[in-house]
Structure 1
Amino acid sequence: MKSALYLCLLLLGLPVQGQYVFDLSVEQQEQKIPHSPEDHSPAEGENLAHVKIASSNADFGFRFYKQVREEVGSKNIFFSPLSISTAFAMLSLGARSNTLSQLHKGLAFNLTEMEEQEIHKGFQRVLQLLNDPHREVQLNMGNALFIDDRLKLLQKFLDDVTNFYYSEAISSNFQNSLEAIKEINNYTETKTHGKIIGLLNSLDPDTVMVLVNYIFFKGYWEKPFNSFATRENDFLLDAKNSVKVKMMHQNKAFNIHRDKKLSCWVVEIPYKGNATALFVLPDEGTMKQVEDALLKETVSNWMQSLEKRKIYLDLPKFSISGSYDVKSLFEKMGVTEVFSNQADLSGVAEKTLLKVSKAIHKAMVDVSENGTEAAAVTVIEMVPMSAEIPPPPHIRFNRPFLMIILDKTTHSILFIGKIVNPAAKED
């Protein structure tokens, strides 16, 4: 009988003291993760491991999004593709044969374009860059393994997860499942500053290891919205139904793009520091068309096509969350063996056959007016108002839209979301 390995991907987003925040857990691990400055020139960029995996992570993120869309229908979507791919990439250190091949394929890693070692070096570098305490955007990510007292991990696996993924190993007694659940819940509650409480309510009786990945993001709008301009307004759920929302407003210059082919507006709203959010507003009736076109090439084209222009911008305040059964979603994406009795995770532990019994992912985001004015000067110059012909467009995010949060330092897509109903609080 295979012992169970539980993957737990924890994310939480919330406002802290009225600031705009994705609080996706954990205190900074400065003592554990070395922070090194970016010591490369742009010309070297394409050969860097973290740049190579960024491309794969984007491919994976949009494939996963489309699978989630099939599952949830017309509900809100919000998740971190980087969190999920990091957890499964770390697990792949102990995978062998077809189990490893399926994981690589599912995570969109092409071993003809990069070596297996480069994958892990790429994540190592991402962790270093995200956990840099000198960044204006606070963005931290880390991993933990809760390991049963009876399970003897192979030294190489332990060394690799520590070296590449800076994972901490925590000894647990899974024979006393109630105590193990309490320990893991206490850990996650502490790491999320009391915001994720009682995440686990049960564990498979055969569980011998639980893997936790967390990510924490705290960003300030470069151009905060004025709360005095926020008004209650209608958000159109569909042709017949609407809900009342708090609609924020700005009348400033933003980087925008009108994608005529896909019939959508793209508005970039940057954070102070090297992170930014893309808000994508499909024309009425074109959401599926835009979603179907979600590929790394599409986003790259949007980013390259952005032009600074004054606009009238309406954006709702919203707080949404999502909980996902990653095991079910991965199985539909062709990653099946790691969850079955055919799983080959022989590189994890001595004399113990392992399979993944469950993998969950929870994320939440809170968007509001607040932020801090950027001290740095914007790189792109504003277009003088007198040169604006025709007049500024009025872009109203008063119907379902997409949100993509990008970290420019690591070239990573941190979060992908679809806001169908900004007033919905449930998962």
Structure 2
Amino acid sequence: MKMKSALYLSLVLVGLQVQALHIPNRSGEQEDQDTPHSPAEGENLAYLKIAPSNADFAFRFYKQVTEEEGNKNVFFSPLSLSTAFAMLSLGARAHTLSQLHTCLAFNLTELEEREIHHSFQRLLQLLNDPHREVQLSMGNALFINNELKLRQKFLEDVTTFYDSEAISSDFQNSEKAVNEINNYIKTKTHGKFVDFLQNLSPDALMILINYVYFKGYWEQPFKSFHTRDDDFFVDAKNSVKVKMMRQSKVHNIHRDEKLSCWVVEIPYKGDVAALFVLPDEGIMKQVEDALLKDTVSNWSQSLEERPIELYLPKFSISGSYDVKSMFIKMGVTDVFSNNADLSGVAEGDRFMVSKAIHKAEVDVNENGTEAAAVTMIELHPLHGENCEPNSQGRLGQSTFTP
């Protein structure tokens, strides 16, 4: 069987299945679903409680991005976004909190708020396991204006659940603060992002950062001498020359007749795999519209080993997204306005999110994949007719009217 990825924009990278953290059992043996887990195993599996919500959010955000980006390449880390805003939600209250929960697909009738953060805690610990064969790291940081006094509860929670660093910074010296933040991001993403932040808002008080870095090697690397220049069709009429990798190997694949596409799993060394979707000619939109958690789950469970001749382009994709504008369209409005209730973050001032940016990059070659993503959230005091500066020029809590 021959499978060539250069068929009319027929390649969609669904992404690393980080929420699975293991390759599913496809040996035909039925796992005993009724076998009770030990307390230690139950603790380790706590991260699974948020997996469905994270997946639902990922596909909702994907559809929002594709609506706005049109035919542009799309690449982002939904887990970075979920983690950053879940961490911010520790300081959110009232309607601001409920909007964040709804956007992130967390249903508090099924999952208690503390369970959400405990699940992120376990997920971070598992992803940062130094014994994994893939290099995978994820972390968080708060850069705080040295005049800002965080509430002790918020500081304890972001440290406990999200292992966040709290770094005091002089935001009055904007250039120095920007350099400090950029150097942190550059180091944590192994140089994938340089000069991520261009400037701080004049009244910025806190910058919340989440980063993800991944580097994995294919279980069966492509031979570089098989890589050739070939056509990759960006639409039905236009093509570009790309470096096309080729290999004849046995892979886990699945043909979805209903959606008219092939699905190919390419494993990395270790317990992580990339899932590629190759729609038939003219079917791209149909497949994109069907990208849901259940769709991908069905694909993963239907994979079978078959020998194929696979063509895969070497590629680099980057994406930069104004999360603020996208979240507003997804129903998150209060946190970006004077209606924001982030009163659990710090003492005295009332805050809103002035800026939310997400950037991601991925490079795929004969040896494997390197990818990184950063989500940055900037907070500054509320402004407007209901919020007036106090005698020290800062926004006093007592002057705020919801």
TM-score over 0.5 (shorter chain) = yes
Residue equivalent to 1:192: 189
Residue equivalent to 1:116: 113
Residue equivalent to 2:62: 65
Tell me the amino acid that sits aligned with residue 127 of structure 2: L
Displacement after TM superposition at 1:137 (Å)? 1.3
Residue equivalent to 1:127: 124
Distance in 1 between residues matched to 2:242 and 2:348, nearest whole Å: 57
For residues 27-48 of structure 1, the C-alpha deviation after alignment (integer angstroms, 9 at most, x for no partner) is: xxxxxxxxxxxxxx97548994
Task: Please say if 1:340 is aligned against 2:302.
Answer: no
Distance in 1 between residues matched to 2:359 and 2:54, nearest whole Å: 18
Tell me the amino acid that sits aligned with residue 61 of structure 2: F
SS of alignment partner, residue 55 of structure 1? helix
Pick one of 357, 361, 364 that aligns with 2:361.
364
SS of alignment partner, residue 120 of structure 2? helix
Displacement after TM superposition at 1:371 (Å)? 5.0
Identity of aligned residues (%): 73
1:147-158 to structure 2, matched below 5 A, reads 147-158=144-155
SS of alignment partner, residue 252 of structure 1? strand
SS of alignment partner, residue 61 of structure 2? helix
Residue equivalent to 2:74: 77
Distance in 1 between residues matched to 2:207 and 2:363, nearest whole Å: 28
Residue equivalent to 2:99: 102
Distance in 2 between residues matched to 1:96 and 1:253, nearest whole Å: 52
Displacement after TM superposition at 1:281 (Å)? 0.6
1:199-348 to structure 2, matched below 5 A, reads 199-348=196-345
Structure 1 length-normalised TM: 0.76
Gaps of 5+ in 1: 1-21, 23-40, 373-404, 406-413, 416-427
Query: Which is bigger in relative contact order (C-alpha 8 A, separation at least 6)?
Result: 1
For residues 173-213 of structure 1, the C-alpha deviation after alignment (integer angstroms, 9 at most, x for no partner) is: 11222221122122222333333221111221110000110
SS of alignment partner, residue 181 of structure 2? helix
Gaps of 5+ in 2: 1-14, 16-33, 374-402
Pick one of 133, 137, 142 that aligns with 2:134.
137
Distance in 1 between residues matched to 2:253 and 2:35, nearest whole Å: 25
Task: Please say if 1:350 is aligned against 2:347.
Answer: yes
For residues 47-100 of structure 1, the C-alpha deviation after alignment (integer angstroms, 9 at most, x for no partner) is: 943111011000000000000001110000000000000000000000000000
Tell me the amino acid that sits aligned with residue 104 of structure 2: L
Which range is displaced more, 146-155 or 192-201? Answer: 192-201
Contact residue 138 and residue 217 of structure 1 kept, 8 A: yes
Contact residue 147 and residue 169 of structure 1 kept, 8 A: yes
Distance in 1 between residues matched to 2:244 and 2:87, nearest whole Å: 41
Contact residue 143 and residue 206 of structure 2 kept, 8 A: yes
Distance in 2 between residues matched to 1:371 and 1:65, nearest whole Å: 24
Tell me the amino acid that sits aligned with residue 296 of structure 1: K
Displacement after TM superposition at 1:313 (Å)? 0.6
Structure 2 length-normalised TM: 0.81
For residues 79-135 of structure 1, the C-alpha deviation after alignment (integer angstroms, 9 at most, x for no partner) is: 000000000000000000000000000000011111101100000000000011111
Residue equivalent to 1:387: none
Task: Please say if 1:167 is aligned against 2:164.
Answer: yes
